[in-house]
A and B are shown apart, each in its own frame.
Chain A
Amino acid sequence: MSDIKRADAFLRQANADQAASLASGIPEFVARYLLQQACEKALKAFGYAKYTGRPGDGAQIDAYFFNRHDPIAKISSAEVLPNGVHLLRRELARFLAEFPERVALERIDATTPSTNMNAVSYRYPFMVDGAWTTPEEFTGWTPYQGGLGQVRTATKKLLARVHDEVSLVKRR
């Protein structure tokens, strides 16, 4: 069956990331980074709790989902997936279809680390209009990731939904 202990650990850390994002006085880029981390870990907790691939499917599922910073984007964008990964994508799509904040969540998921110097980053300096800027100086967070309140709401609701799913599996 599913890897429920791992799922539970991922969910605990997702909750810790979310709690840290609420600390008073932390800069916006840090809060947003922590919220993206919380969402990423919660989605992986969902995957570990819900899904058991067939023997031999593990490496492929890791490559397309569990080892990714952007698990929704990666698994959704691939045109041809190994069959086992395909079923996880379908399960995730069904879960997200019932999630009112799905669009906000997909935006958060897509805002992951990049080595592209022109890509917005929570952690490293990057180029904007030909000039270097830092996450601390950047002012375009809302167009990039959505309003901070919306990001907080989507993250909070995702963690609650995943908590329910993990709890159901734990009780079995």
Chain B
Amino acid sequence: MEKKQAVQELVDAHANLRDEEMATAIWIRQGDTPVWLVEVLPGFTDDDRAEEPTVMAAGKSFKFDLYLIAANEKSLRAAIQRDTALAKWIVEGQVVFNSEKGKELQGLAEQCLEAAAVRHV
């Protein structure tokens, strides 16, 4: 199965889980062999290290190692603001669930990168 299709199926499965609202999902670092996903999960508690991924090994239903950055929106926004690498990956990423919220986060990440660039001038 093509990687892009596998990612979309995984995200759709996450979006359809019982009792688990997902606000958006962004596929980042698309050129990497493992799959890197950012998912915004409103049910998550605040997390001051949201940029650290949790790793799921590849399996029968998803054949790629998954590096998952999952957080509520507040924690993810804070992570984007303090981690320029994450901001860059999000800007370059592909929104794969709920494009409106995903693009809003990409806009925030872009602003953070611009602000960081100004600081370095």
Contact = CB atoms under 8 A, between A and B. Distances in A.
Q: Is the interface of A mostly helix, strand, loop or mixed?
A: helix
Interface string B76-101: 00000000000000000000000000
B13 A94 contact: yes
Nearest to A91: B56
A103 interface: no
Interface stretch (B23-31, B46-54, B105-113): B46-54
Q: Size band of the B side of the interface?
A: 20 to 34
Contacts of A54: 49, 52-54
A168 B59 contact: yes
Given A52-B55, A86-B44, A168-B59, A93 B17 contact: yes
Interface of B: 13-14, 17-18, 20, 41, 43-45, 47, 49, 52-61, 63, 65, 68, 70-71
Interface of A: 1-2, 49-55, 57, 80, 82-84, 86-87, 90-91, 93-95, 97-98, 161, 164-165, 168-169, 172
